[in-house]
Amino acid sequence: MRAATVCLPTYNERENLEPMLRALEPAGVHVLVVDDNSPDGTGELADRLAAELGFVSVLHRERKEGLGPAYLAGFRRALADGAELVLEMDCDFSHDPADVPRLLAAVEAGADVALGSRYVEGGRIENWGLVRRFVSAGGSFYARALLGVPVRDLTGGFKCIRREVLEAIDLDAIRSRGYAFQIELTYRALRKGFRVVEVPIGFTDRVEGRSKMSRAIVAEAIWKVPLLRAQALAGRL
Ligand SMILES: Nc1nc2c(ncn2[C@@H]2O[C@H](COP(=O)(O)OP(=O)(O)OP(=O)(O)O)[C@@H](O)[C@H]2O)c(=O)[nH]1
Ligand SMILES: [Mg+2]
């Protein structure tokens, strides 16, 4: 297997971090925790765990700016350290660490980007209320319809990306912070002609800690999608 780094963004994930790192150990990946100076001490805990667990390193950022900037910083570090495959994953157990090998396998089998997908045959969402289901499914439908791409789960954040994809995309041009970041990254990969494959996953609502989802994150995704389409039509993506 080629060197793979999981970028794991954290903001107040003290309860989840250690169980998540231990659950990722059998996957044989490197894990880069990207902590935005969490007030609950997640960053210090990450340092302690990194000292104990050889496969873990930590990138500390000064302040919370949303998922997008945290991932971009993580990608740059992972690429500089020589990762061939870079993964995105939430640290709240919504994404099952046991699914990591399935994403790696999809890339080994020829995908440039493997997306953990809730909305293909075999994908599931557990214990989400109607409102969350509607926002998520509606968001993916909206983005798919406006962008005209065949991907069913555009807002998901469980991905495995080949380094060539991240090298080909203009990372400096990405300004999205929330769900829009996930949509934008996948769309830019598709525009560059890369092969995006959806891998069915089960998605579970978090048990520990609090969601960072906000109205601003949903609003950003709503206005960003037509902007992305316009940029693509103007030949700028
Ligand atoms: N470094 C960093 N991590 C973040 C930030 N916002 C969210 N995260 C992390 O990103 C992952 C996903 O965030 P969640 O709060 O679960 O948000 P979500 O998955 O979009 O929303 P829910 O489905 O409601 O949980 C978690 O590991 C968070 O700790 C941020 O601004 N900076
Ligand atoms: Mg979550």
Along the 237 residues of the chain, how does pLDDT read in single tens digits?
Answer: 469 999 999 999 999 999 999 999 999 999 999 999 999 999 999 999 999 999 999 999 999 999 999 999 999 999 999 999 999 999 999 999 999 999 999 999 999 999 999 999 999 999 999 999 999 999 999 999 999 999 999 999 999 999 999 999 999 999 999 999 999 999 999 999 999 999 999 999 999 999 998 999 999 999 999 999 999 999 988
Which DSSP letter does residue 112 get?
S
**What's 124-187 look like in SS3?**
EEECCCHHHHHHHHHHHHHHHHHHCCCCCCCCCCCEEEEHHHHHHCCHHHCCCCCHHHHHHHHH
Phi, psi of 160 (to 5 degrees): -125, 125
Kindly state if the Cβ of 112 falls inside 6 Å of ligand 1: no
- Expressed in angstroms and rounded, the spacing between residue 191 Cα and the centre of ligand 1 is 26
- Expressed in angstroms and rounded, the spacing between residue 94 Cα and the centre of ligand 2 is 6
Kindly state if the Cβ of 99 falls inside 6 Å of ligand 1: no
Q: From the alpha carbon of 35, which atom of ligand 1 is closest?
A: 1
pLDDT computed for residue 2 by the predictor: 66
Q: From the alpha carbon of 34, which atom of ligand 1 is closest?
A: 1
153: Cβ–Cβ under 8 A, 6 or more apart, which residues? Answer: 115, 116, 117, 118, 119, 120, 123, 140, 198
| In contact, 43 and 69? CB cutoff 8 Å | no
What residue owns the CA closest to ligand 1's atom 28? 10
